[in-house]
Amino acid sequence: MTITVVIIGRPNVGKSTLFNRLVGQRVALVDDKPGVTRDRRSGEANLFGLEFRVEADLALLVFDARAGITALDEHFARWLRRSGKAVALVANKCEGREAEAGLGEAYALGLGQAIPVSAEHGLGMSDLYDAVAAVAGKAEEALPDEALEEGEAEAEAPDET
């Protein structure tokens, strides 16, 4: 099952770092408009065997948990809530205790509990996997049986080591 995912967030929260970790290789910058689309890149990503394209069934809203919630994070959250898209809130830079306060503040964005990760250190990737897999699962339910059989092998996650 291939779903599309877009990574959104203010500058310096770690979008590129997360993207590179998910994709596992450098890919071409396909769109560099200022504003919300300024860092949009496209590529096949692979998270524990779950394949998806970085673009649009699910938005990952990334914020810097060490910096806490800013006005721009609130702006993105409001915009995504209104979009009606599936959104997973991702708290990056959570490898240390400095992230705790920001992680607590994040619930006020109205997007549910944030998923703590460290894109730089590769932490929290299995929880992020679960969030992406939940959306992929819903997309699969909407498919006819034949398509489902084809998609199953790809969506299976190997054990985490």
Question: What are the E-state strand segments in the chain?
Answer: 3-8, 44-47, 50-64, 86-92, 115-116
CA distance readout (Å), 114 to 21, 84, 93:
19, 18, 12
Residue 44: CB minimum distance to ligand GDP, A: 19
Residue 13: CB minimum distance to ligand GDP, A: 4
CB atoms within 10 A of CB 27: 15
Is the CB of 9 or the CB of 43 nearer to ligand GDP?
9
If one asks whether residue 39 binds Mg ion (CB under 5 A), the answer comes out as yes
CA–CA dist 83, 37 (Å, integer): 15
Site for ligand GDP in 46-105 (CB under 6 A): 92-93, 95
Q: Which helix (H) or strand (E) holds 102?
A: helix 100-105
Residue 98: CB minimum distance to ligand GDP, A: 9
Is the CB of 3 or the CB of 20 nearer to ligand GDP?
20
Residue 116: CB minimum distance to ligand GDP, A: 10
63: which strand partners? 91
Region binding Mg ion by CB under 5 A among candidate stretches 34-42, 75-83, 140-148, 152-160 = 34-42
Region binding ligand GDP by CB under 6 A among candidate stretches 40-48, 103-111, 115-123, 139-147 = 115-123
